[in-house]
Amino acid sequence: MLQEFTERLGYLVYGAYNAAAVIVLLNMLIAMMSRSFDSIQVNHTCPCIQREHLRQTVLFYLPESLLSVRQQIKCSVLALDAASH
């Protein structure tokens, strides 16, 4: 009897923990998307500013382990800026 109660309580606590974790992760995802949208939306007047904010947003969320990708993004944005002037 006691073992059955403890097992059911364990399942209940584990389920509540998983539900709370999903809610917190979804909230964090929404906050990150909102921050990205706001940072791009504020300065949407000039295409060069748009590219710069897009570059900053991408570089902000890329981990440091992807340094080669980060360098390629920086170089491609610099090439686009040079071509537009």
The phi, psi pair for 70, rounded to 5°, reads: -60, -40
- Amino acid identity at 80: L
Domain ranges, ordered by start, for the chain:
1-42, 44-85
In tens digits, what is the pLDDT along the chain, a chain of 85 residues?
889 999 999 999 999 999 999 999 999 999 888 877 776 666 565 566 667 777 777 777 776 666 666 666 666 655 655 555 5
Q: How many residues are present in the chain?
A: 85
Count the neighbouring beta carbons within 10 Å of the beta carbon of residue 35. Answer: 13
- Amino acid identity at 54: L
Q: Is 57 helix (H, G, I), strand (E, B) or coil?
A: helix
Strands in 1-85 per DSSP E:
none
